[in-house]
Structure 1
Amino acid sequence: MTASPLADRLLDIKRIYHEPGVDESPRGRQVVERFSGAELIEVPTHQQIPGLYGNAGNVEDWVRIKQEVLVLGEKKSLAARRNERSSDWIAPSTANGCAMACAYCYVPRRKGYANPITVFTNIEKITGYLERHAGRQGTKPEPNQCDPVDWVYDIGENSDCSVDAMVSDNVRDLVDLFARLPNAKASFATKLVNRELLTYAPRGRTRVRFSLMPAETSKLVDIRTSKVADRIAALDDFVEAGYEVHLNFSPVIVHENWRADWSELLEQIADNTAERTRDQLAAEVIFLTHNEGLHDINLGWHPKAEDLLWRPDLQQLKKSQNGQWNVRYKTAWKGRWVEQLADLVAEKLPGCRIRYAF
């Protein structure tokens, strides 16, 4: 792999923490060679990193750690988890963490609050497991909201595959795998336009879900991501390259002018995409869920975002399964807002079906 201007903007890797021996595996060596100037630091496991793991004080260095640190490890537990919302299955991760720093990100900060990228180097075991798993499923018995024909596997639940592809060939290997599977397709959401992915050969078997929100809101909360206009400009190119392209309207953040902003965004999509692209579009709609603990952390590094994300006048508390307090828009209002956005999509972007909304 060679460096790219996009990778150089997001990543300036100075330290690579690695489990014993994984830096000598084929995938591990690829990452080490890609960032040849980085210091190599051996750690017991990718989840036990002195000074990084569980260090809430890292909020002061949030972006710098994402830019300068990588972690190499092996994925020990291989299991596909049922989803039935965006995908039929959540695939075993080939990476977690992200170089971007969206203010609302829900991904667990298991290596410290910055959560830099971890690359899992045992890619052959992961792809082998997925091929066997898909084989056991056979033909999909009936259509569902995930896909009318194929089993859909989300390959990027805990990371952004467009970023991961700048670090190793794990994403290319996954795209190649699903290109040859007769009954399954890959899927991932992204906020980054990585045009290197246009050189892959997905053969219609990988679905890229470009996350979109109104540009002014994105400027405040989508930290270190591609501009919304650039994401829209990439839609036609990814369709031409053989990807299935969907939209991820997420998170929908409610404020006083939110409907006017979304109307403008939907018009931009309609005006800047080809008919071929619009004919195959589908969307998922996810309204903001925020976290009390994340709110407190954000106040330490990005308080302006919290003016949008933390709205007690619009939100209600709900305790999550792990005992943390989340905030969601009040039930009595949210249902009406979902309907209003669905009506806007039908008006401004006709033909784009909404696969699900919540």
Structure 2
Amino acid sequence: MTRSALGFAHGRAIVARAEVQGIEVVTLPGDRLSLGLPDDPRRAYSEAKSTLAVVVAPPSKRRLQPIAPSADWRVDLAEGCPAHCSYCYLAGSLKGPPITRVYANLDEILDGLPAYLGQGSITSRSEARAHEGTTFEASCYTDPLGLEAITGSLSAAIAWFGRWEAAAQLRFTTKFADVGPLLGLDHQKRTRMRASINPTMFARFEGGTAPVAARLTALADMARAGYPIGLTIAPIIAADGWREAYDALLADAAGALTGIADLDLTVELITHRFTPGSKAVLESWYPGSALDMGADNRTTKRTKFGTEKQVYDAPTMRSLRLFFEERIGTLLPAARILYWT
């Protein structure tokens, strides 16, 4: 806990939740995260990954940024994630050791959202998605459900959106499954949960997360509780056997969601990509990983920020997209595909 974080009720509530669970809480004398991590990079990574810091989001963090193609705006409840995914897209994006930072001034963050109502360009002004209203993505730089047992931030945000009588929606995607605290909330259908899933053959790249079957069960429980839901199939990996693997995954998803009344289901399709920087970080974090980040079937794409990333080449992308569009149409006919990237 940083000193300033204790000045907020939500920060103090996080302390109380942690102490009830027997989790060690260290209160720092100031706001600087001087945690004395070891010099050895592997040990420093391990200790950083197992550390949660409760801090105050400064005004610069509360100025929302667009987050295409998912949503109008990115709203951060935290930065960093306790999972160990060897393809993690956050690698290279967050500076310094991968400590998870949770924001104590949650009320300030949420109270700033009405100023963005109707101002986005993804759903606010999209004919196909206008019914979603202004959308706020809460899982760009974190997995909020993975932190929920300690923070309570996701429950508070869902309840806040439930009270906000506006054309707006909170969105989060997760590789975790403990949705129990969320099921009884008065969400008013203004929060969409998406389960991030991949076939068993690729689940070995998702250390520290819930089994995919548990994620699908949790998604079905949320749907029965009236939440809009979705599948985030990411990252799609074009390794040997991918067709059979993803076909089985889609069939499992269809089976988990069978018989749910008034199902509001979306699908987001995100292919594997990486930057030179993220590749270097991931290879230092997970040496010996079997994840293919070679040059085969890849091409270089320049982003709007002038950086480069490696994506699948056009023939591979075409094969993947045609497969998913056909199989989703067959196995999950009620689903709406929001985007392919």
TM over 0.5: yes
Q: CA, structure 1 residues 43+105, in 2 after alignment: closer, same or farther (shift >3 Å)?
A: farther
User: Residue 27 of structure 1 aligns to a residue in which SS?
Assistant: helix
Deviation (angstroms), 1:348? 2.3
Q: CA, structure 1 residues 141+124, in 2 after alignment: closer, same or farther (shift >3 Å)?
A: closer
Deviation (angstroms), 1:258? 0.4
Task: Verify: 1:183 aligned to 2:167, yes or no.
Answer: yes
Task: Give the equivalent residue in structure 1 for 2:65.
Answer: 81
Deviates more, 1:189-198 or 1:327-336: 327-336
Task: Verify: 1:203 aligned to 2:156, yes or no.
Answer: no
Q: 2: CA distance between counterparts of 1:149 and 1:44? A: 38
Deviates more, 1:319-328 or 1:248-257: 319-328
The amino acid that maps onto 1:256 is D
The amino acid that maps onto 2:266 is A
Task: Verify: 1:270 aligned to 2:254, yes or no.
Answer: yes
Q: 2: CA distance between counterparts of 1:242 and 1:272? A: 16
Q: 2: CA distance between counterparts of 1:81 and 1:74? A: 14
Matches within 5 A, 1:7-22: 16=1, 18=2, 20-22=3-5
Deviation (angstroms), 1:76? 2.1
Could you state the TM-score of these two structures normalised by the residue count of structure 2?
Answer: 0.86
Task: Verify: 1:231 aligned to 2:231, yes or no.
Answer: no
Matches within 5 A, 1:185-334: 185-195=169-179, 196-218=181-203, 220-276=204-260, 279-305=263-289, 307-320=290-303, 325-334=308-317
Task: Verify: 1:351 aligned to 2:334, yes or no.
Answer: yes
Task: Verify: 1:124 aligned to 2:107, yes or no.
Answer: yes
CA offset digits 1:250-284 (Å, max 9, x no partner): 11011011011000111111122233368421101
User: Residue 84 of structure 2 aligns to a residue in which SS?
Assistant: coil
Q: 2: CA distance between counterparts of 1:39 and 1:126? A: 24
User: Residue 142 of structure 2 aligns to a residue in which SS?
Assistant: coil
Q: 1: CA distance between counterparts of 2:261 and 2:243? A: 24
Q: 1: CA distance between counterparts of 2:309 and 2:43? A: 23
Contact 1:289 1:327 (8 Å CA) reproduced: yes
Contact 2:51 2:100 (8 Å CA) reproduced: no
Q: Unaligned stretches of 5+ in structure 2?
A: none
Deviation (angstroms), 1:321? 5.9
Matches within 5 A, 1:35-184: 35-36=18-19, 37-45=24-32, 49=34, 51=36, 58-77=41-60, 78-91=62-75, 93-107=76-90, 108=92, 110=94, 112-113=96-97, 115-134=98-117, 143-181=126-164, 182-184=166-168
Q: CA, structure 1 residues 246+56, in 2 after alignment: closer, same or farther (shift >3 Å)?
A: farther
Q: How many residues align?
A: 331
Deviation (angstroms), 1:131? 3.0
Deviates more, 1:286-295 or 1:251-260: 286-295
CA offset digits 1:164-189 (Å, max 9, x no partner): 32222322221112112221110011
Q: 1: CA distance between counterparts of 2:206 and 2:68? A: 27
Q: CA, structure 1 residues 85+110, in 2 after alignment: closer, same or farther (shift >3 Å)?
A: closer
Could you state the TM-score of these two structures normalised by the residue count of structure 1?
Answer: 0.82
Q: 2: CA distance between counterparts of 1:83 and 1:144? A: 18
Task: Give the equivalent residue in structure 2 for 1:5.
Answer: none
Task: Give the equivalent residue in structure 2 for 1:4.
Answer: none
Q: Unaligned stretches of 5+ in structure 1?
A: 1-15
Contact 2:11 2:54 (8 Å CA) reproduced: no
The amino acid that maps onto 1:244 is P
Q: CA, structure 1 residues 301+119, in 2 after alignment: closer, same or farther (shift >3 Å)?
A: closer
Deviation (angstroms), 1:63? 3.8
Q: 1: CA distance between counterparts of 2:5 and 2:132? A: 38
Q: 2: CA distance between counterparts of 1:321 and 1:57? A: 36
The amino acid that maps onto 1:316 is T
| Overall identity of the aligned pairs, in % | 23
The amino acid that maps onto 2:190 is R
User: Residue 291 of structure 2 aligns to a residue in which SS?
Assistant: helix
Q: 2: CA distance between counterparts of 1:61 and 1:210? A: 30
Deviation (angstroms), 1:216? 2.1
Deviation (angstroms), 1:154? 0.9
Deviates more, 1:56-65 or 1:75-84: 56-65
